[in-house]
Amino acid sequence: MKKLLITAIFFLTVSPAFALVRVGLEGGLSIANATLDPAVTTTARSGLAAGAMVELGVSEDFYLVVEALYVQRGYKESASGVETIYKQDYIDIPVQLKYDINLVLVKPFFTFGPYLGFLSKAGSETAGTSLTYTTGYKTTEFGLSLGVGAELPFSPVTSLFVSGRYNMGLTNVLDSSVSSQKSRGLIVMGGLLIGI
């Protein structure tokens, strides 16, 4: 067991600078809102965003990034002084193109691509009373994501990173032909990437 641990540490610290495949874990904050039609004034709902990722190297600077994320979305609405929080939680599968800028100490990066969200649960909370919705929402959502971030390498194939992205839902998440809700939101996360 000791030899296996020493071998693993060796390969994590002296492998080539360009790792073709990297895996990672990430987590952080989702600040979500929605565009409604008919128009209603809404405010943001804060929640959790966490998951795992795989980066496939296309070149030294370009990666294809596939993620599986649990993301809490929704919005808040106030009427007659009473606030209602509408909650929609999704399992998102983003597929992003990532471009790294290789600087000496830090690696800034940019990401862009689509995501497909699968509704995990939906509900609302008003004055301490919670409701769960089993109808009224579509089971999938499609959107685009644009992000920036920075990696801090601490070995040739292992990095810590922080990122921020803006998600823009393109499809109506309501199962309705007379009203619509499209998600909008910012996700800020940090994580760890390891080359394999």
**pLDDT tens digit string along 34-70?**
999 998 899 999 999 999 999 999 988 999 999 999 9
The neighbour count for residue 16, using CB atoms within 10 Å, is 9
Q: Which residue has the tokens 């309705």?
A: 176
pLDDT at residue number 70: 98
pLDDT at residue number 1: 54
Residues 124-161 have pLDDT tens digits of: 999 889 999 989 999 999 999 999 999 999 888 899 99
User: Is 7 a residue whose pLDDT tops 50?
Assistant: no
Percent of the residues in the chain that have a pLDDT greater than 90, as a whole number? 77
| List of residues 6+ apart from 110 with CB closer than 8 A | 98, 99, 147, 148
Helices (H), 20-116: none
User: Is 14 a residue whose pLDDT tops 50?
Assistant: no
Residues 93-110 have pLDDT tens digits of: 999 999 999 888 899 999
What is the number of H-type helices and E-type strands within the chain?
Answer: 1, 9
All domains in the chain, ordered by first residue:
2-195 (2.40.160.20)
pLDDT confidence of 92, banded at 50, 70, 90? very high
DSSP 100-160: E---SS-EEEEEEEEEEEEEEEEEEEETTEEEE-SSSB-SEEEEEEEEEEEEEEEETTEEE
- Write down the pTM of the prediction: 0.86
